[in-house]
Amino acid sequence: MQLNDGPASRRRISVDEAIRALLAQFDPVSDHERITVLDALGRTLVEDIPARADVPPFDYATLDGYAVRASDTVGAAPDRPVPFEVIGVLAAGAVTSRPLGKGEAYRILTGAPLPPGADAVVPFEGTDGKGFGGWEGADAVSLGLAEERVAVRVQVRSGDDVRPRAEDQRSGEILLRSGTRVRPAEVAVLASAGIYSVWVHRRIRIGVLSTGDELVARDHDGPLGPGKIRDANGPAVLALAMRDGAETVDLGQALDQPNSVRGSLLKGVALGCDLLVTSGGVSMGDRDMVKHVIRDEGEVSIWSIDLRPGKPFTFGRFHGVPVMALPGNPVSAMVAYELLVNPVVRRLQGDRATVPVEMMAIADQEILNDSGRENFVRGVARIAGGACGSIEWHVCPTGPQGSGILTSMSRANCLIRLSPETRRVESGGRVRVRLMDAFPLW
């Protein structure tokens, strides 16, 4: 990455260029730990996970009915029923070694293994069988009992209403790849394969620091003094890092003084942070100290991004620890985190997917971009019916887009991405939308 160590060499780079440059600076943490599958939720797998056995381990019925040989039902119809002798009942968990002969059937319940010789299940509704489990009053057959004969009124084919062995997982095949973030679906897959614990990347530790003389203490609940504001950035960035699965270290607030900023960053280094994320102090003001402290005791690599909101941004290293310094405006800080910090956090924790899903959507109202920069507008994406019954994504801004309007973030589920060349999108026009918290699997 090009070193930009002062205003004379400062240049504004695109968002995509910044993401590529940042990701090139990081490798996943090398520390791994073995934890239970439930504890692995939100963590990233270190190794490929193969199936230990076939799942399901046997052919089984997918509904209540009668296990038969499909060839015995040829010609069956409502007006030409085919009689079968019922030789037993099979419920889930029950097995039999008695194979079916010609014209024989087992009464079978959902989930029960298919008996030897059977290759199909006739649904209960396709027979004159009695109700299952008392569904049809006094005439119903109790569980565990079976009629002696049943008339089959439908013809079935081999495999009908049967879930075959190894349909889901085949022994030895790779179920989950290294670099997969564990979601509830992966928990279920691992549990179904009989896997109790897995190796994952450890959680990274992120130190979060707010800067500014104007900030009051977080626990201040009285009236604000002249020129003072509350610190939204610190809690917001801490919450974002926690959402991303990181262990957080709250470094509190620093004054716009070199020693105050330096002391807070040194605390993060001493506490073993893998990444330091600050907000404020990276613009061109006389008291924007963060970038100067990083430069004086480390290196600075990025000064500003061609981005709205969030142009002031600094990446560097302080005493060897990476620092990502976000703008001071609260929306700018959150958007810059979503676009630039989140991919780095995912990379550090071993996730193979680092950039969220983007798609095209129809703008429900006019959207303007007078910034001359790539503009990420907070928006609400929704699905709506289109022409001829089609389903399309629609999007609209959340309202005023000022970089201090935090409520615009709380109302948003996406960012509408407008290129620097896009000055105006008419209502009905198509725009790129980046869904927040939606990532591809690979």
**Is the distance from CB of 414 to CB of 376 less than 8 angstroms?**
no
Full domain range(s) for residue 229: 7-31+202-348
Interatomic CA distance for residues 372 and 209, integer angstroms: 30
Residue 353 lies in a domain: no
Same domain, 241 and 316: yes
Residue 1 lies in a domain: no
Same domain, 303 and 419: no
CA–CA–CA angle 352, 358, 185 (5° rounding): 50
The one-digit pLDDT tens for each residue of the chain (442 residues) are: 444 444 334 567 899 999 999 999 999 999 999 999 999 999 999 999 999 999 999 999 999 999 999 999 999 999 999 999 999 999 999 999 999 999 999 999 999 999 999 999 999 999 998 766 544 545 445 554 567 899 999 999 999 999 999 999 999 999 999 999 999 999 999 999 999 999 999 999 999 999 988 887 888 888 888 888 889 999 999 999 999 999 999 999 999 899 999 999 999 999 999 999 999 877 766 667 898 899 999 998 876 788 998 888 899 999 999 999 999 999 999 999 999 999 999 999 999 888 888 999 999 999 999 888 999 999 999 998 766 667 889 999 999 888 889 999 999 999 999 999 999 999 999 999 998 876 655 5
The pLDDT of residue 214: 86
The pLDDT of residue 377: 96
Same domain, 342 and 249: yes
Sign of CA dihedral 192, 197, 200, 205: positive
Same domain, 330 and 388: no
Phi first, then psi: give them for residue 99, nearest 5 degrees. Answer: -75, 160
Same domain, 249 and 197: no
CATH of the domain at 268: 3.40.980.10
Exposure of 126 in the CB half-sphere (CA atoms within 13 A): 23
CATH of the domain at 389: 2.40.340.10
The pLDDT of residue 132: 63
Same domain, 254 and 341: yes
Same domain, 405 and 277: no
Distance of CA 179 to the CA centre of its chain: 13
State the maximum Cα–Cα separation within the chain, in Å, rounded to a whole number.
Answer: 94
Q: Which residue has the tokens 């030789």?
A: 87
- What's the structural domain count of the chain? 4
Interatomic CA distance for residues 50 and 372, integer angstroms: 50
Same domain, 139 and 266: no
Helix runs in 37-105, H state only: none
**Is the distance from CB of 309 to CB of 331 less than 8 angstroms?**
yes
**Whole-Å CA distances, 421 to 180, 372, 417, 424:** 36, 7, 12, 9
Residue at which a domain ends, from 323, 348, 373:
348
Residue 20 lies in a domain: yes
Distance of CA 409 to the CA centre of its chain: 19
Phi first, then psi: give them for residue 153, nearest 5 degrees. Answer: -110, 5
Same domain, 215 and 196: no
Interatomic CA distance for residues 115 and 105, integer angstroms: 9
Same domain, 156 and 194: no
Coil, helix or strand for 291?
Answer: helix
Radius of gyration of the chain (CA): 31
Residue 441 lies in a domain: no
Closest CA to 280 of 316, 325, 321: 325
Residue 380 lies in a domain: yes
Residue 8: Cβ within 10 Å count: 6
Interatomic CA distance for residues 232 and 404, integer angstroms: 10
Residue 155 lies in a domain: yes
Residue 442 lies in a domain: no
Closest CA to 56 of 104, 93, 9: 93
Residue at which a domain ends, from 291, 313, 348:
348
Residue 194 lies in a domain: yes
Residue 164: Cβ within 10 Å count: 14
CA–CA–CA angle 389, 393, 398 (5° rounding): 140
Residue at which a domain ends, from 144, 163, 182:
163
**Whole-Å CA distances, 350 to 31, 86, 276, 353, 370:** 10, 56, 18, 9, 38
Q: What is the dihedral of CA 48, 275, 329, 299, to 10 degrees?
A: -120
The pLDDT of residue 10: 56
Same domain, 254 and 313: yes
CATH of the domain at 184: 3.90.105.10
Same domain, 222 and 323: yes
Exposure of 229 in the CB half-sphere (CA atoms within 13 A): 13
